[in-house]
Amino acid sequence: MEKKIIPFNNLYKIFNLTSSILILISILLLFFKGLNYGVDFKGGTLIEIRTSNNSISISDLRKSFNKMNLGDISVKEFGTKNDFIVKFEKKINDKENTIENIRKNLSSLIGNTFEFRRVESVGPKVSSELLMSGIIAIALSLCAMLIYIWIRFEWQFSLGAIIALFHDVVLTLGFFSLFGFEINLSIVAAVLTIVGYSMNDTVVIFDRVRENLKKYSDIKIFDLTNISINETLSRTIITSITTLLALLSIYFFGGEILKGFSFAMILGVIFGTYSSIYIANPILVFLRVSQRTIIKEEIK
Amino acid sequence: MLYFSKLRIISVILFTLLFSYFAASNFFKFDDNYFNRNINLGLDLQGGSYLLLEIDNEPVVIQQLQNKLLQIKNYLKEKEINYKNIILKNNKVISFEINENQLDKTKELFDKDDSDINPYYQKYKSHEFDLFINNNIFLLNFSKYGLINIKSSSQNQAIEIVRRRVDEIGTNEPNILKRGNDRILVELPGLDNPDRIKSLLGKTANLTFRFITQNEEESFGTEKLLFEDSSDVAIVSRRIVLSGDNLIDAKPRMDNQNNETVVSFTLDRVGAKKFAKATSTGVGKRLAIVLDGKIISAPNVQEPIIGGAGQITGNFTFQSATDLALLLRSGALPAPLNIIEERTVGPDLGQDSINAGILSLIIGFCLVISFMLFRYRIFGLIANVTLIFNLLLLLGILTLFEATLTLPGIAGIILTVGMAVDANVLIFERIKEELKNEKNQIVAFDTGYIKSKTTILDANITTLIAAIILFIMGSGPVKGFSVTLGIGIVTTLFSVYFIARLLTSLYVIKNKFKEKLI
């Protein structure tokens, strides 16, 4: 059964334009709107509260916490109607035992109908260190990928792959900025995994492009990339599907704590699959990769 | 690629069984004397407290500079060098002036490799102090390594005291580790309310006994100190009669006479002597018991205390007396500790996370294997069997290294399920392509395996790189993610190239005359 060849390459231009615009929008968002950092990166305190009293509403909690003079407070529902996340900027001062005081104050205000399921408190020094090491980790992983692919392939391929990676990371972060989703340590882990996944996807197509360059000397790179994309297409789709199935399962059943992580990964897998086809390959076309490119390298 | 020698088949089977046994030992209690390991659950799964403490070394550095200043004074006198205006500037720099004609001699004393006053660290190729000479003014401040030396010694002392305090409370297998040269990490599994430990670690517990005086012109100097439980102030001599170092035991006790909780203490021999002497000369005076710069109480000395035992009164509850006794028994911290990061997870949230993690693992696993079965039929089954062994190997390795499993770690396992089939998919798709031009199915399978090899390696190495960087840079639960993701890649490669290939080869060789194997 011969499969029909899908002309992905006809849409290179239009998607390149779209991606450029999306990257621009993402960068503008990151600069002007910024990211919604969680306590890991901004410092402050987070308390996850579960109430056993159904009549306690989010505004009851907000009112109670406002009375405690803790600075800026945000209260959100967390998954169910009885779970809440309370965040405030003031770091728990160990000398005053703020958590204990909050517990006492809260039970006098809303009764002893709640428990603290989780407390996270990060000082300003630690949060800025965590942010720095997160940024370094992402930068380092991009560099490591660059080096790896530079050793394995010709520079044109490296450039294509890195721009695709950059695209995926910037778009994922732009998306988080646009919707104000929280950035915490697990999002950094997600971004790093996206970098790995996107690279993985690109490398598979590039391997095929390289193989085909050796095989056919008379096909232009514009069509050659399309042949390679088509040949690897069923693998690209199947792997994306199985990875997405695993991620959707984490998103829906893995609990609230993993929601942000799995959501970022789902975005990343979609962007990564898209960018391997529509970012990495057009760059090979743009850089006029030909059989000579890889033969020259091999002679060297 | 399809050929397997007998020896190879046996070793693959043995290896797989061994690791499956390791994995299974987490769930079933085998009575095994040789292999007795388990995967540890991270604090986010079993509940517990994570505290990161930072040592505030500034007071230690200032104290050391003050001591050094006295040492230098004596040393210069001894070497017959005339100095003047020796002071400690900004609590950072020791500065003094030397006569022109003694400049070189003095410089040499501080600069030479075997200097007594400015020790040279062979290891770091640096002196304890950096020396700057400005005309005839000598300026000394701690060198980088001098500071490191102070920090690591105060860290060593502090971690010992922290360990004693945590042990005294008797939590379950605490984990106390150094971080950098001025931080201490305390992990307390199972503890869902760390308030008591936090308040105990927040106290330096520097205990001194000093007389209260009316006379502000005492030879040792005096200072005004607040009482712990009121805003009263008393003038206290700087002369220390006795310090917490001389205590060998402290216990909370009910005083039967006035029904009060007190802390009774026992002194060592030196302490007992000092205390006896001070209390016999000081009958009638008030002796202040000062803890971390605040007066707990200041009882009148009624009679000499010569037995080497005494008691501290104050407005104690039984709890606060117990805590004070604990602090006194475990000793004073060299410097104050600040809690700069705290993460506490209650045990039922931990259990919820475990349940959610396992549920999503099962669902993700079922979705992936159904999809593979649907897409590849018999080879889907091979990929799925491989996936099961892959997971067993992954768990087996985690068990072998007694790795810590966190919630993101479980996410890493689920992600491995999703991504592990990729290698098999690459191979199967390649074989399908080869079959278009190759009539001999065995040859097609063989080339399929060979040609997809570099791609599979490339694809997995990229993810492995990401996992390694995350392992190096990441902290806490996120590190657990990188561990499962990274080990998952290794086990995936093993299971695809040994287990799946073995199963494929057995199937293909047995059915080589069948049409359309895949």
Dump pLDDT digits (tens) for B230-254: 888 888 888 888 888 889 899 998 8
Average pLDDT, chain A: 90
Is there a contact between B476 and B343 (Cβ–Cβ < 8 Å)? Answer: yes
Distance CA A288, CA A213 (A): 12
Going by C-alpha positions, the residue among A236, A259, A257, A239 that lies closest to residue A249 is: A259
> What six digits make up the tokens of B116?
């007594």
Across B80-84, B350-354, B418-422, least confident range = B80-84
For residue A66, give the nearest of A58, A77, A54 by alpha carbon.
Answer: A58
Indicate whether A300 pLDDT > 70.
no
As a whole number of angstroms, the distance between CA B129 and CA B127 comes to 5
* pLDDT band with cut points at 50, 70 and 90 for residue B176: very high
Nearest CA in chain A to B337: A94
| CB distance B274 to B207 below 8 Å | no
CB A159 within 8 A of CB A142: no
pTM: 0.88
* CA–CA gap between residue B368 and residue B384 (Å, rounded): 9
CATH classification number, A8-38+126-299, choose in 2.60.40.790, 3.40.50.880, 3.40.640.10, 1.20.1640.10 = 1.20.1640.10
Q: Which of B51, B55, B340 to mutate to test the interface with A (most CBs of A within 10 A)?
A: B340
pLDDT for the residue A54: 82
Query: Does B254 lie at the interface with A, CB-CB under 8 angstroms?
Result: no
Distance, C-alpha B279 to centroid of its chain: 44
Q: What is the pLDDT of residue A299?
A: 62
Position B177 scores a pLDDT of: 94
Q: Kindly state the average pLDDT of the residues A189-218.
A: 92
Q: What is the pLDDT of residue A292?
A: 81
- How far is Cα B44 from Cα B50, in angstroms, rounded to an integer? 10
* Residues of B with Cβ-Cβ distance to A120 under 8 angstroms: 342-344
pLDDT for position A261: 94
Least confident of A84-98, A197-211, B166-180, B425-439: A84-98
Among chain B residues, the shortest Cα distance to A262 is held by B411
Cβ-Cβ contacts under 8 Å for B80 (sequence gap 6 or more): none
pLDDT tier at B55 (50, 70, 90 boundaries)? Answer: very high
This complex has an ipTM of 0.92
Establish if B461 touches chain A: CB-CB under 8 angstroms: yes
For residue B380, what pLDDT is reported?
94
Q: How confident is the model at residue A1 (pLDDT cuts 50, 70, 90)?
A: very low
What span, in angstroms and rounded, lies between the C-alpha atoms of A164 and A171? Answer: 11
Burial class (CB in 10 A: 0-12, 13-18, 19+), A256: middle
Q: How far apart are CA B100 and CA B82, in angstroms?
A: 10
Separation of alpha carbons A167 and A25, rounded Å: 12
- pLDDT at position B142: 93
Locate the domains of chain A by residue range.
Answer: 8-38+126-299, 44-122
Taking the C-alpha atoms of residue B54 and residue B56, their distance in angstroms, rounded to an integer, is 6
Work out the minimum CA distance from A48 to partner chain B, whole angstroms: 9
Biggest CA pair distance of chain A: 81
Please list, in sequence order, all residues whose beta carbon lies within 8 angstroms of the beta carbon of residue B24, skipping any fewer than 6 positions away: B30, B392
Residue A93 to residues A86, A100, B334: CA-CA distances in angstroms? 17, 11, 21
Q: Are B22 and B399 in contact (CB under 8 A)?
A: yes
Confidence of residue B112 (pLDDT cuts 50, 70, 90): confident
Pick from A100-104, A286-290, B473-477, B497-501: least confident: B473-477
Q: How confident is the model at residue B426 (pLDDT cuts 50, 70, 90)?
A: very high
**Residue among B472, B473, B516 with most chain A CBs within 10 A, to mutate:** B473
The helix/strand count (H/E) of chain B reads as 14, 21
pLDDT for B364 equals 96
Pick the CATH number of A44-122 from 3.20.20.70, 3.40.1280.10, 3.30.70.3400, 3.40.50.11540: 3.30.70.3400
Tell me which of A40, A46, A51, A94 to substitute to probe the interface with B (most B C-beta atoms closer than 10 Å): A94
Instruction: Please say if the pLDDT value at position B334 is more than 80.
Output: yes
- Lowest-confidence pick of A64-73, A123-132, B336-345, B370-379: A64-73
Q: How far apart are CA A197 and CA B56, in angstroms?
A: 43
Compare all CA atoms of chain B with the CA of A165 and give the residue at the minimum distance: B462
| Segment A257-283, tens digit of pLDDT | 999 999 999 999 999 999 999 999 999
Element (H, E) at B109: helix B103-111
HSE-CB at A87 with a 13 A cutoff on CA atoms is: 16
Helix A124-152 to helix B441-473 angle, to the nearest 10 degrees? 150
pLDDT attached to residue B216: 63
pLDDT score recorded for residue A27 = 96
Whether A150 has a pLDDT exceeding 60, the answer reads: yes
Spatial separation of the C-alpha atoms in residues B284 and B86, rounded to whole Å = 41
For residue range B137-166, list pLDDT tens digits in order: 999 999 999 999 999 999 999 999 999 999
Residue B463 near chain A (CB below 8 Å): yes
- The A residues from 120 to 139 touching B (CB cutoff 8 Å) are 120-123, 125-126, 130, 133-134, 136-137
Question: At B343, is the secondary structure helix, strand, or coil?
Answer: strand
| Residue-level pLDDT at A298 | 62
| Partner B contacted by A250 (CB < 8 A) | yes
pLDDT tens column, B258-286: 888 999 999 999 999 999 998 888 888 89
Residue whose pair of structure tokens reads 């190096």 in the numeric block: B472
B222-227 and B175-179 beta bridge pairing: unpaired
Out of A235, A241, A258, whose CB is closest to B426? A235
Cα B210 to Cα B242: distance, rounded to the nearest angstrom: 7
Of A126, A249, A254, the CB nearest to B340: A126
